[in-house]
Structure 1
Amino acid sequence: MIQIKYIKHILTVTGILMFTSCNLTDVTDVDPVYQISEDKVITNIDQAQTALYGTYGALIDGASYISYTPAITSMMGLTMKPGVWGGGTENSFFKNDVLSDNYYLELIYTDMYFLINNANHVITKTEKLETEDARKNEIVAEAKFLRALSNFYLLRLWGEFFDENSTNGIVLKKEPIVSANPQARASVAETYNLILEDLEYAIQYAPSFSDTFYASSIAAKALKSKVLLYKKDYSNAAQAALEVINSNERELEDTFSDIFTKKIIETKEAIFQTPFDNSNDRNNKAFMYRAYFGVSDYYISQMEDDARYEAAIAYTSSGSAR
């Protein structure tokens, strides 16, 4: 049975719905709950510094920079091979038969552009700060160093870095990503230009060397030398390298083995490095290089008559080379 009071209730609710429908909210213009708007993330130097630390963190978040990139390129160069836990995914690099859906390719590509996007947030927002604090330019310089580093990795892995006249460079991102719209590759020359432009800024404004885990002016100059070497600008590459040597900010280790045993603590030779901790988790360089990736027979044979053999290659109790 339908009662009058229910009819009145329905009419009342309907009236309310009709009234509120005339005041619709644009769902594309609602600030997400518990999320700071992008224009308010970096409004002072302290916030810029915190964002920069986060960008450095992308270097060691996972193993793309620490393990995967050097391992797969070494397998393509025949000095490494799949380890005891390695399978078809790793072996495809060793056989030079890599498919586009390879796990490592997707992970490395995504991680490197993630770092670049973080760096772009730091660069674009810190540049807008109105402050006389000298740390402003240093923060931008460190972020540009990290952007240059990632672009250089991407160019060597996905671009024709060996031909400056090639149109097959990489996708260059100079601003934070705001859409998923596709973007064409830049040319190799354009890619080199952005990398070197970022490094020149870092050389001028980055802090003096203090720690191997952070960008510095000398690290930018050392990376510039390496970029110019790949660019085949040999005379300027040599000049930049000589300036690094003559700066006396770093020096050679006393023995070749010290390069490895002192890599993290009290190193004299390292200029910039990605730290890893062998005791905290298994997703690190030490573990990956004894499980998924190993030293190749070819490399061992090439090192047999080398004075650095004992420092470069170790053997387990079972006779496995590492």
Structure 2
Amino acid sequence: MKINIKQHLSKITGLTILLLGSIGCSDFLDEQDPSNLEPASFYTTATHAESAIAAVYADARFIGDGAGIFSSNWQFLMAPTGNTTTETAQNSDLNNLYALSYDANTLHVRNWYRGLYKVIANANLVLENVPGIEMDEAQKSKILGEAKFLRAWSYFYAVRLWGDIPLITLPQDSGSEDFFPTRSPQTEVYNLIVTDLTEAENAGLSWTNESGRVSQAAVKTLLAKVYLTMAGQPLNETSRYADASAKAKEVIDNAGPLRLFDTYGELHDESLNNMGEHIFSLQYNDLVADNPMDDMYPNFQPVTYRGPSGTGSTIPHITFYDSYDDDDLRKVDREGWFYSSYYTNGDGELFDLGKPYVFKYFNRTANGTQGEPGTAKDNLNLMIFRYAEVLLIYAEANNEVNGPSQDSWNALNDIRSRAQLDTPALDTFTKDTFRETVLTERWHELAFEMKTWFDMVRLRKVYNVTTGNFDNFSGHVNLNSGQSLEEKHLLFPLPEQEMINNPNLTPQNPGY
């Protein structure tokens, strides 16, 4: 049975599987009183299993949910990097992220903690209850593999954000022995992540999946990324570079339909969702929720069918924009990642915006383009993993193991060639200069994809957009605020309310 996750989004908005084990109902479940549904009565059919995993996918969309006025959860991982700034400054929590003055009461911190643990809780319910359902074994195996991927994906965010965290692998209720769990060491969390993903690799998932479900390529991509992170700080398990290189190479050598798109415009073409360069994305459609990146639109300038609207609460810092080579296609107006002009009301006369804005998520189909009115339906997915990142993981990890090689140079060159940049000859690189070139490409290629902050933490380095070199994390001046990063910023604070609810979460992360 092939289930399209995007088609199920409208059906599962009413399905909420809470940590305590209560289960909501939607129109495709058994026609029972929703308040009477419990795991024992719910997990009895293949349809229930499909509905339950669809709910886990839906929960993952918390990343696009609102976080107060003119702000969304996704801004949490962009604002502290210094690569973005704001035109509105009307959300105090977002302002604190930009200013590096966030604390345990910052809304985005709380939303991410609760969002990730809701995904984990619902994945745990699937993993605990679906094995007992009498259904097609291949279908069951795939569902369990998807649940393990989504649990690992959530824990991977959480362990990088907060360090030692509660490691919950079973459904919880008020009678559970560890209902108030303590924090587990990061090594234990990473062990679970690797185990989940290794088992998901063998779950019979298809190599790619245009329906939006987890694929084997997505599992291997996440595993390569996990290994790369484990090789860096704070674990510093440098032998994992070889694992990251090997796993990324598996994806490259067996790419099949995976490829770099020929143009950057294809990345934000909704007709190409879940194919080509897209390995795994969060699914959006207008029946449930439009693409959530609206806060990148300029502040009250008529770039869409809505006319003068948008908040401009996340825009590129001009120094970051200037750090791109002038010949870099990613810097070209309306061709790459930025735009400094657009068509009035989406489809009218071209006008100057006065500064660059983020074009990476701009949907021409929904918003309009020259002479073509927008559909007003932004069905663009939110990309999580794409093939470009696999190439960069391989180039970095293989260089750490073997120094510059032809294969790693080819991966780097694929990225730079699409940007219409020349790559220096292989024999001109040392291991150190190749590393810096790859990392610079990560900053430029993966910009605005919620990845840069994690690079800063695992590398303990930050790309200095003014000098083109890399600074130490501690002491690097965030140009957006003029504030310096400190050791405490390597982790975020645990949310205050969560620590009140669970005293076993103490102590708070240092410095907060």
Same topology, TM > 0.5: yes
Q: With the length of structure 2 as denominator, give the TM-score of the two structures.
A: 0.51
Residues 1:238 and 2:239 are matched in the alignment: no
Question: Which of 170, 176, 194 is the aligned partner of 2:165?
Answer: 170
Corresponding residue SS for 2:273? coil
Structure 1 counterpart of 2:223: 224
Stretch moving more, 216-225 or 62-71: 62-71
TM-aligned CA deviation for residue 296 of structure 1: 1.6
**In structure 1, distance between residues paired with 2:271 and 2:290:** 19
Stretch moving more, 122-131 or 32-41: 32-41
Tell me if structure 2 keeps the 8 A contact 1:228–1:234. yes
Quick one: structure 1 residues 130 and 59, their matched pair in 2 at CA, closer, same or farther if it must change by over 3 Å? same
Residues 1:252 and 2:281 are matched in the alignment: no
Q: How does 1:55-134 map to 2 (within 5 A)?
A: 55-61=56-62, 63-64=64-65, 68=72, 70-84=74-88, 86-134=90-138
Question: Which of 350, 353, 357 is the aligned partner of 1:318?
Answer: 353
Q: Among the aligned pairs, what percent are the same residue?
A: 25
Quick one: structure 1 residues 65 and 275, their matched pair in 2 at CA, closer, same or farther if it must change by over 3 Å? farther
Stretch moving more, 215-224 or 172-181: 172-181
Quick one: structure 1 residues 142 and 300, their matched pair in 2 at CA, closer, same or farther if it must change by over 3 Å? same
Q: How does 1:168-207 map to 2 (within 5 A)?
A: 169-179=164-174, 181-207=179-205
Residues 1:303 and 2:302 are matched in the alignment: no
TM-aligned CA deviation for residue 69 of structure 1: 5.2
**5+ unaligned residues in a row in structure 1: which ranges?**
1-31, 160-168
Structure 2 counterpart of 1:10: none
Tell me if structure 1 keeps the 8 A contact 2:80–2:97. yes
Residues 1:215 and 2:214 are matched in the alignment: yes
Q: With the length of structure 1 as denominator, give the TM-score of the two structures.
A: 0.79
Q: How does 1:18-57 map to 2 (within 5 A)?
A: 34-57=35-58
Q: Which has the higher contact order (CA 8 A, sep 6+)?
A: 1
Tell me if structure 1 keeps the 8 A contact 2:44–2:133. yes
**In structure 2, distance between residues paired with 1:262 and 1:33:** 35
TM-aligned CA deviation for residue 87 of structure 1: 2.9
Tell me if structure 2 keeps the 8 A contact 1:59–1:274. yes
**5+ unaligned residues in a row in structure 2: which ranges?**
1-32, 232-239, 298-310, 342-351, 358-512
**In structure 1, distance between residues paired with 2:83 and 2:314:** 11
Corresponding residue SS for 2:85? strand
**In structure 2, distance between residues paired with 1:65 and 1:56:** 18
Instruction: Name whichever structure is richer in strand by fraction.
Output: 2
TM-aligned CA deviation for residue 204 of structure 1: 0.7
Corresponding residue SS for 1:226? helix
Q: Which has the larger radius of gyration?
A: 1
Stretch moving more, 173-182 or 231-240: 173-182
Quick one: structure 1 residues 225 and 64, their matched pair in 2 at CA, closer, same or farther if it must change by over 3 Å? farther
Tell me if structure 2 keeps the 8 A contact 1:139–1:206. no
Tell me if structure 2 keeps the 8 A contact 1:263–1:270. no
Tell me if structure 1 keeps the 8 A contact 2:210–2:275. no
Corresponding residue SS for 1:303? coil
TM-aligned CA deviation for residue 37 of structure 1: 2.5
**In structure 1, distance between residues paired with 2:66 and 2:255:** 28
**In structure 2, distance between residues paired with 1:200 and 1:285:** 31
Corresponding residue SS for 1:196? helix
TM-aligned CA deviation for residue 190 of structure 1: 0.4
Amino acid in the other structure paired with 1:236 = D
Tell me if structure 2 keeps the 8 A contact 1:78–1:298. no
Alignment deviations for residues 201-246 of structure 1 (CA, whole Å, 9 cap, x no partner): 1111042022262111111000000011110121110110010111
Tell me if structure 1 keeps the 8 A contact 2:172–2:179. no
Alignment deviations for residues 103-139 of structure 1 (CA, whole Å, 9 cap, x no partner): 1111111111111111111111012234453111111
Aligned length: 281
